């Protein structure tokens, strides 16, 4: 599933071609995604201008000129790709293309999703914070207010391993398996450590590591594994910079550590870490 850096990369790519443009036509080819589309989905979007495209956790928020908001989630295999003007989507995309957006200046943006775990919904700016998909989310890890003190408050009293706590979207919004493993390695914290013990300097180190890892991943266009591509159909390159994720048995990349990357399973998910430098 695309994590925060991948969704942010897609957001930036879509904003370049959709923000400030009018949706001249919306073509719904299949409405039974993870949850059914609103019955009047296309009618409520056509003729509306996209004022801005924001992100909340792993959700894309298309803000419209009438106060409406199109909320989108890419799910496991979803893509939103801009086709060159006048061109159709590639054949492999078109087979699973469920919704197509056309802008007044000729851009074509197709939403494809082979597994149909993605979703789209319509709401309003006034109702956005109370939307069932958003109201439980924790703070954004890239916000200026997210620091060690703020993270410590979210972790206080939690007896779960720190890895599990960071994957809980109620604690921090948008983090997923890859970037939690990477941030814990940068911070020198064991994924097994009890979350409640991450306070003070440990919380400061972890918050700084989360910021740094996410910033670096966004700069690299995210990580491309199976399905993820950018809004222009390109690949992300952060997978070539992974410190521990997917590197079981390889040397730790911390200079002078001398340890080896290990793998363990936590809550059904693979965790990669170095037992020598992560405590």
Give the total residue count for the chain.
279
- 124 part of a folded domain: yes
> In this structure, what are the phi and psi dihedrals at residue 17, rounded to the nearest 5 degrees?
-115, -15
CA 223/CA 177 separation, integer angstroms: 12
| Catalytic residue selected from 56, 58, 108, 154 | 58
How high is the pLDDT of residue 116? 85
- 231 part of a folded domain: yes
- Are 124 and 161 contained in the same domain? no
Answer whether 82's CB lies under 8 Å from 14's CB: yes
* SS3 at position 14: helix
pLDDT tens, residue by residue, 79-118: 999 986 656 655 555 678 999 999 999 999 999 998 888 9
Task: Read off the CATH number of the domain in which 209 is found.
Answer: 1.10.8.50
Ranking 42-56, 87-101, 180-194, 263-277 by mean pLDDT, the lowest is 87-101
Q: Is 3 a catalytic residue?
A: yes
How high is the pLDDT of residue 26? 97
- Are 158 and 93 contained in the same domain? no
Percent pLDDT > 90 in the chain is 84
pLDDT tens, residue by residue, 121-149: 999 999 999 999 999 999 999 999 999 99
pLDDT above 80: residue 150 = yes
The domain of 268 spans 148-274
Answer whether 187's CB lies under 8 Å from 206's CB: yes
Q: Is 182 a catalytic residue?
A: no
Q: Is 269 a catalytic residue?
A: yes
Neighbouring C-beta atoms of residue 233, cutoff 10 Å: 15
Q: What average pLDDT does this structure show over 169-188?
A: 97
Task: Read off the CATH number of the domain in which 99 is found.
Answer: 3.20.190.10
- Are 65 and 160 contained in the same domain? no
- 255 part of a folded domain: yes
- 193 part of a folded domain: yes
- Are 118 and 226 contained in the same domain? no
Q: Is 132 a catalytic residue?
A: no
CA 128/CA 71 separation, integer angstroms: 9
- 237 part of a folded domain: yes
How high is the pLDDT of residue 267? 86
Into how many domains does the chain fold? 2
pTM given for the model: 0.93
């Amino acid at each position: 599933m695309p994590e925060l850096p991948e969704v942010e990369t897609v957001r930036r790519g879509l904003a370049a071609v959709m923000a400030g443009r009018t949706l001249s036509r919306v073509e719904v080819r299949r409405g039974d995604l993870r949850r059914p589309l609103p019955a009047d989905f296309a009618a409520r979007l056509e003729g509306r201008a996209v004022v801005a495209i924001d992100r909340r956790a792993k959700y894309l928020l298309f803000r419209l000129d009438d106060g409406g908001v199109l909320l989108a989630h890419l799910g496991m295999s979803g893509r939103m790709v801009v086709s060159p003007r006048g061109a159709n989507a590639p054949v492999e995309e078109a087979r699973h293309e469920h919704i197509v957006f056309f802008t007044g200046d000729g851009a074509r943006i197709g939403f494809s999703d082979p597994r149909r775990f993605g979703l789209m919904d319509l709401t309003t700016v006034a109702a956005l914070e109370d939307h069932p998909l958003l109201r439980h989310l924790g703070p954004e890890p890239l916000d200026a207010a997210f620091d060690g003190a703020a993270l410590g408050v979210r972790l206080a009293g939690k007896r779960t391993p720190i890895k599990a706590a960071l994957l809980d979207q109620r604690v921090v919004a948008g983090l997923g398996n890859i970037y939690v493993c990477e941030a814990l390695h940068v911070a020198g914290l064991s994924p097994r450590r009890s979350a409640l013990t991450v306070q003070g300097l440990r919380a400061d180190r972890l918050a700084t590591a989360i910021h740094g890892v996410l910033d670096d991943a966004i700069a690299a266009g995210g990580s491309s594994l199976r399905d993820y591509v950018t809004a222009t159909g390109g690949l992300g390159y952060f997978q070539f910079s992974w410190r521990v994720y997917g590197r079981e048995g390889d040397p730790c990349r911390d200079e002078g550590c001398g340890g080896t990357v290990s793998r363990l399973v936590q809550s059904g998910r693979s965790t990669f870490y170095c037992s020598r430098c992560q405590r």
